[in-house]
Amino acid sequence: MTESVIRNMEPDDRAAVVYLLSASEPWRTLGYTTTDWNHIFCPIPRDRDCYVVELHGQVAGVAIVKQKFLLGDYLELLAVAESTRHKGFGGHLLQYVEQLVFRRTKNLFVCVSDFNEPAKAFYRKHGYQEIGPMPNFLIPGSAEILLRKTVGPARVRQ
């Protein structure tokens, strides 16, 4: 894998992130437009942890984490540019997020669309287990599948 840098997202990254997401699946199938992404990222969400992976000075991926979801955190979004897929950047970004999350909590949750086979395989490969489907959650006739990775129970009996 070529040298990449993961860092906090900055306002100057917004245009590149919006472009990356607007051009990517599953977001197009789910109906997200450039306008939607501009609303989401202008300003950068203050109540989320937002990261980008940078390759040769260009944004090549993005991750957004919501803290305190159920008994863990929730990975709201993880995406890498189509041109960098299958080269390890998504896994590198996910591992970075997991290291931060598992310092403060035992569970990390994520949703994948039932039609997004590459994402389902990606998360399975990284140790995520299916919790269950949420039918018609984002678009009619499709389900979002809640996944979880854990490093132990949220509570320990004493």
Q: For the chain, how far is it from start to end, CA to CA, in angstroms?
A: 44
The pLDDT tens digits for 1-57 are 568 899 999 999 999 999 999 989 999 999 999 999 999 998 888 889 999 999 989
Q: What is the CATH number of the domain that holds 14?
A: 3.40.630.30
- Tell me the pTM: 0.92
Question: How far is residue 106 from each of residues 63, 87, 94, 99, 143, measured CA to CA in Å?
Answer: 19, 28, 15, 11, 26
Is the bond preceding residue 26 a cis peptide, omega within 30 degrees? Answer: yes
Position 73 scores a pLDDT of 96
- Residue 32, in any domain of the structure: yes
When pLDDT is averaged across residues 71-90 and rounded to a whole number, the result is 91
- Residue 61, in any domain of the structure: yes
Choose between 12 and 83: higher pLDDT.
12
Domain enclosing residue 94, as ranges: 4-150
- Residue 58, in any domain of the structure: yes
φ and ψ at 31, to 5 degrees? 90, 10
- Residue 137, in any domain of the structure: yes
Position 153 scores a pLDDT of 85
Q: Kind and range of the H or E element at 30? A: none
When pLDDT is averaged across residues 119-131 and rounded to a whole number, the result is 97
φ and ψ at 9, to 5 degrees? -70, 140
Position 157 scores a pLDDT of 72
Number of domains in the chain: 1
- Residue 75, in any domain of the structure: yes
- Residue 157, in any domain of the structure: no
The alpha helices in 30-132, defined as continuous H runs, are 34-41, 89-104, 117-125
- Residue 134, in any domain of the structure: yes
- Residue 155, in any domain of the structure: no
Question: How far is Cα 130 from Cα 145, in angstroms, rounded to an integer?
Answer: 7
